[in-house]
Amino acid sequence: NKRGFIFDLDGVIVDTARYHYLAWKRLADSLGISFGETENEQLKGVSRVRSLEKILDWGNVELSKDRFNELLDIKNKDYLAYIERMDQDEILPDVLRVLSFLKQNEQPIALGSASKNARTILKEVDLLDVFDVVIDGTNVSKAKPDPEVFLKAAEGLGQVPENCIVFEDSVAGIRAANAGSMLSIGIGDASVLNEASYVFKDFTEIPTEFFSKLISER
């Protein structure tokens, strides 16, 4: 029995969500726009362009197209400086246990990320080969909560959306999975990810039997 297992990247596979946070915070601070955890939560899963639009909206700041693009570039360079120093230690707890269990059980595995840096990061932590399909920010035109990224991942795996399971740390991503008729599993705070079908604090909280059950269910 095969299902389609689709993983978000930032904050699910690797601990990069904090680097996005640090880079956006530095940028917001430089513009005099207040930026904390609450604002950050709303940027998780959101594309680079849309994130900057939101930050500028919060600060009532309007910029020229050139300046806007310049800031996108500054943020990404800042972010990439963190990424360069990354290694396998930044794979989140028990991610490797889960991936290897799914591999042993011959389950199709995809990445569904909004990030344009996804392949760079997967290479850095030596996980690129684990994914049968990688759909990232360079492959989609509609950002989460639109289901496009996950629908493309499902298609790549040769699975119907209803047979797919999505792991997400963001509200936008859970909404995208739900909109695509997939089973949504939140990784993080249950009060934030309350629209998910299931929520776990992290992968250490998901017993192997949970995955066996998912595999035998359909």
Query: C-alpha distances in angstroms, 189 versus 21, 89, 145, 200?
Result: 17, 22, 18, 8
| Residue 168 interacting with ligand BG6 (CB under 6 A) | no
Among the listed residues 134, 156, 169, 183, the single contact to Mg ion using CB under 5 A: 169
Cα 64 from chain centre: 29
Of 210, 211, 170, whose CA–CA distance to 194 is shortest? Answer: 170
Q: Which residue lies nearer to ligand BG6 by CB, 20 or 152? A: 20
Q: Which residue lies nearer to ligand BG6 by CB, 41 or 132? A: 41
Q: Which residue lies nearer to ligand BG6 by CB, 3 or 144? A: 144
- Long-range contacts (CB closer than 8 Å, 24 or more residues apart) made by 146-150: 146/176, 146/179, 147/176, 147/177, 147/179, 147/180, 147/182, 148/176, 149/112, 149/113, 149/114, 149/176, 150/6, 150/112, 150/176, 150/177, 150/180, 150/182
Q: Which residue lies nearer to Mg ion by CB, 131 or 215? A: 131
Q: Using CB under 5 A, which residues numbered 1 to 60 contact Mg ion?
A: 8, 10-11
Residues classed as catalytic: 8, 10
| Residue 113 interacting with ligand BG6 (CB under 6 A) | yes
| Residue 59 interacting with ligand BG6 (CB under 6 A) | no
Site of interaction with ligand BG6 (CB under 6 A): 9-10, 20, 43-48, 51, 76, 113-117, 137, 170
Site of interaction with Mg ion (CB under 5 A): 8, 10-11, 169-170
